[in-house]
């Protein structure tokens, strides 16, 4: 099953590449909406798009409106997961999504409560 993983971006040039690389898988449909970053994030995302097959959008908005906008672009009937571009994810992120794709999920939860070993950048 394909999973739609999505994020908003605003001035994340220092972390966007390692964050995307830390969770990327070929069966993920990754969508990132940039809020007109001024630090080179948009250009970095365009470089990453070539290697990681990212779908990139640009939208001047709040984080919440950006998330809602992205969800409108996620293919229907997919599992969706939000990620932050200032975080390096470990294998637990992918394990949770792999389990969710088994069609045996009966509850909705926050991924952050399950990911005890992720490394948040300061």
pLDDT averaged over every residue in the chain = 80
Q: What is the DSSP letter of 11?
A: S
Answer with the residue of higher pLDDT: 102 or 37: 37
Supply the pTM of this predicted model: 0.75
Q: Which domains does the chain have, with CATH numbers?
A: 3-120 (3.90.550.10)
Least confident of 25-34, 52-61, 80-89: 80-89
Q: What does the pLDDT read at residue 39?
A: 96
Residue 76 has pLDDT above 80, yes or no: no
Quote the percentage of the chain above a pLDDT of 70.
Answer: 80
50-58's contacts with Cβ under 8 Å and 24+ in sequence apart are 52/20, 52/21, 52/24, 54/20, 54/30, 55/29, 55/30, 55/31, 56/31, 56/32, 57/31, 57/32, 57/33, 58/33, 58/34
């Amino acid at each position: 099953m394909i999973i739609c993983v999505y994020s908003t971006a605003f001035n994340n040039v220092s972390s966007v590449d390692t964050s995307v690389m830390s969770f990327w898988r070929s069966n993920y449909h990754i969508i990132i909406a940039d809020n007109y970053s001024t630090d080179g994030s948009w250009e970095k995302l365009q470089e990453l798009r070539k290697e990681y097959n990212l779908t990139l959008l640009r939208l001047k908005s709040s984080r919440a409106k950006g998330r809602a906008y992205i969800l409108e672009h996620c293919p229907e009937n997919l599992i969706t997961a939000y990620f932050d571009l200032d975080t390096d994810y470990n294998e637990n992120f992918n394990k949770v999504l792999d389990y969710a794709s088994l069609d045996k999920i009966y509850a909705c939860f926050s991924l952050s409560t399950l990911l005890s070993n992720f490394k948040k950048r300061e």
